Amino acid sequence: MATPNQQRICIGPKVPAHADNPISMLLPCPSSGLPARYVIQDGGLYEMQMVDSEGLRSWFIGDTIQSDGALYLITPYDPVFILIPILDIMRQKTADAEGKFLLLEGIFGSSSDQYPSLRHLADLKNIDKYLALVCDVRVAAMKTYRLDDEKVMGWLKKKVEVFVSKFESIPALVDSIAYTESLPEACRTEAITQSALKMVSANLSDSWATKLSANYQFPELDKMESRTQLPSMSEFGKRSGMDLDDEPKAREVKKPKMSVGQRKLAKASTAGMKPMTSFFAKKS
Amino acid sequence: MLEARLQTGALLKKVLEAIKELITDANFDCSDNGIALQAMDNSHVALVALLLRHDGFEPYRCDRSLALGVNLVSLSKVLRCAGNDDIITLKADDTADVLSLTFENTDNDRISEYELKLMDIDSEHLGIPDTTYEAVVQMSSAEFARICKDLQVLSDSVQIDVTKEGVKFGAKGELGSGAVTLKQNGNVDKEEEATLIELQQNVSLNFSLKYLVNFTKATPLASRVSLSMSSEVPLLVEYKMEAGYIRYYLAPKIGEDN
């Protein structure tokens, strides 16, 4: 798909033979707001991730060597995650106004100078349906959209549910909560939800992630945690009427971290002995 | 990631006992060749180089070189929780901030798992060239430990003289003087105790006894020790293990008693 000196090793979805050339672009990452690489092909949105070799590896491709050893991964990405922060800004919500309804062109057309590629999002297949998932839609002569907080929350919660329902079928996810194996079923169920919530939140800005997590409680897991947390030493001290906090800490800092052998060596006279660095050269 | 399984846990315990008396923190540099460590003592007049070769572990896996920064006192404390017959498995991820240790006691199905926090340690590695030494003495490690300990009573430094007849350790101090001489012998019956000398040239060098005594903490690791000397270069004290070595280098004292 490129000239030989621009080869890339990339794992991605199968591309149909008649497909258009993919459009690669920078869009604001929904969680950090920083530019990230995305690809649109055949009306679908894909996220591109790079496993950087940090210049330490290269690829052999046929008879050529490509010095850039990075591996690119292209995976389908739900456009709604990208849309939420954009719509959030565009509606210009204030404390006393819900904000503006906007035309499709209004949302993506007047795109900021930083992300000229936003206009490509309007070409996504079913973009109106995606928008409708999280927006109030007004149909007059033209369809207009405005982000609706409740709809967003509803959609995000459903997203979490989907993750929960698919959780057990993905071994890597099951491994990630292996610590719950010996815990009661209720704990495990909560751990799954918590893990799904984390995954969804990874695609949200902090403010949305906080709002979303407010909908979930994990009483069983909290209980486990508090059970494993031991009272700190200073609490024992207070109970017995002593204040252990001040003195010992000060003493701890002074305590030399040397072993017995080192303390003995500290007393050894090194007169007439040259340092090792005068015999052996430092390696770069 | 690193995964190294050591059949005789006692080995690692002894290694730690041997180096923790000399240095506080150090990086264990893991590569496909094995686990190595190089560090200088606080005064920079001594250096320890440790190598545990990959074939000493079964299995040994290290996909990518990584440096595990460890506080040796903490590690040796954790290792004290392992039995001498335990199988010890060391594990660390490439980006890990902990070293996990698993101790398995095959007799009574006891498995203990510990995680030790790692630290970032700036370390400078010194390039130590392969040298031909003027004198190499191979002797019983227990004998060497005893001589160092005995002579410490008299002085802080020892003069080591090597001739083709034998090796003489001498100390002179305020309360008197003492010397131990070991004759070169090819004692076939007691190979472990034989003193063997390879000599290009006679040498006579002074070393700090406190440091030598410190090095003899490695005695449990090997029945033999070799002392390699040339004038005005560091003494090499080497304990060879089945799959690896622990080497101590010590700068000679120059301008004393000479």
Where do the structural domains in chain B lie, given as residue ranges?
2-108, 135-250
Domains B2-108 and B135-250 share a fold: yes
- Enumerate the residues of chain B whose CB falls inside 8 A of the CB of residue A281: 126-127
Residue A186 or B158, more confident = B158
Provide Rg for chain A, Cα atoms.
28
- Enumerate the residues of chain A whose CB falls inside 8 A of the CB of residue B129: 280
Q: Which stretches in chain B have pLDDT values below 70?
A: 186-188, 256-258
- Enumerate the residues of chain A whose CB falls inside 8 A of the CB of residue B210: 264-265, 267-268
Give pLDDT tens digits for B91-150.
Answer: 998 887 899 999 998 777 889 999 999 998 887 889 998 889 999 999 999 999 999 999
DSSP assignments along chain B, one per residue: -EEEEES-HHHHHHHHHHHHTT-SEEEEEEETTEEEEEEE-TTSSEEEEEEEEGGGSSSEEESS-EEEEEEHHHHHHHHTTS-TT-EEEEEE-TT-SEEEEEEEETTTTEEEEEEEE-------PEE------SEEEEEEHHHHHHHHHHHTTT-SEEEEEE-SSEEEEEEEETTEEEEEEEE----STTGGG--EEEESS-EEEEEEHHHHHHHGGGGGG-SEEEEEE-TTS-EEEEEEETTEEEEEEEPPB-SS--
* % chain A with pLDDT above 90: 2
**ipTM confidence:** 0.83
CATH topology of domain B135-250: Proliferating Cell Nuclear Antigen (3.70.10)
Provide the whole-model pTM: 0.54
Query: Using CA atoms, how far apart are residues A208 and A259, in angstroms rounded to an integer?
Result: 51
Give pLDDT tens digits for B146-163.
Answer: 999 999 999 999 999 999
CATH of segment(s) B2-108 = 3.70.10.10
Comparing CB atoms, the residue among B24, B156, B233 nearest residue A279 is: B233
pLDDT the model gives residue B206: 94
pLDDT the model gives residue A36: 86
Quick check: A265 and B210 CB within 8 A? yes
Beta bridge partners, A59, equal A66
> Residue with structure tokens 């990518």?
B64
